[in-house]
Copies of this chain bind each other. A is one copy, B any other.
Amino acid sequence: MESWLDEIKWNDQGLVAAIAQEPASGKVLMMAWMNRESLQATVERGEAVYWSRSRQRLWHKGEESGHTQKVLELRIDCDADVILLSVEQYGGIACHTGRHSCFYRVYNDGEWQSVEGVVKDPEQIYSDYRGGNS
């Protein structure tokens, strides 16, 4: 009996949108997707586990980069089809481009302009975590 999971309105692919926000900075870091299994895993681990639509499998955020997200709080919206996660972002990098947040481009006069720099080179992130040259 997991009635809290049954209350969720999964879409026709069995997913809900999941927004990760960092309370310390107030920043919205990213949005990804969760299925029933990934949301349950998120609660059990206390770390964000998404559903990768491209890879069609569970995606424990940080599994390849080390940049896990410790979940401080989980909220659901009025329609029960969006999850809001309060997270502590390990390494301060949520984006696969090596930036703090995935929302680093701002609309300005007909263009999307990048306004946030890379914290760490993505190649470095992944090779460091995998053991790379060591």
Contacts and interface: CB of A to CB of B under 8 A. Distances in A.
Interface in A84-108: 84, 95-97, 99, 102-107
Contact of A112 (B76, B97, B111): B76
Interface string A63-101: 000000000011111111010100000000001110100
Number of copies: 2
Contacts of A105: 75-77
A105 B82 CA distance: 11
A43 interface: yes
Contacts of A78: 95-97, 99, 102, 104
A17 interface: yes
Contacts of A73: 106-107
Contacts of A103: 75-77, 82, 84
Contacts of A82: 31, 102-103
A123 to B, nearest CB: 16
Nearest to A106: B75
A78 B2 CA distance: 34
Given A2-B110, A76-B103, A21 B17 contact: no
A71 to B, nearest CB: 9
A118 to B, nearest CB: 11
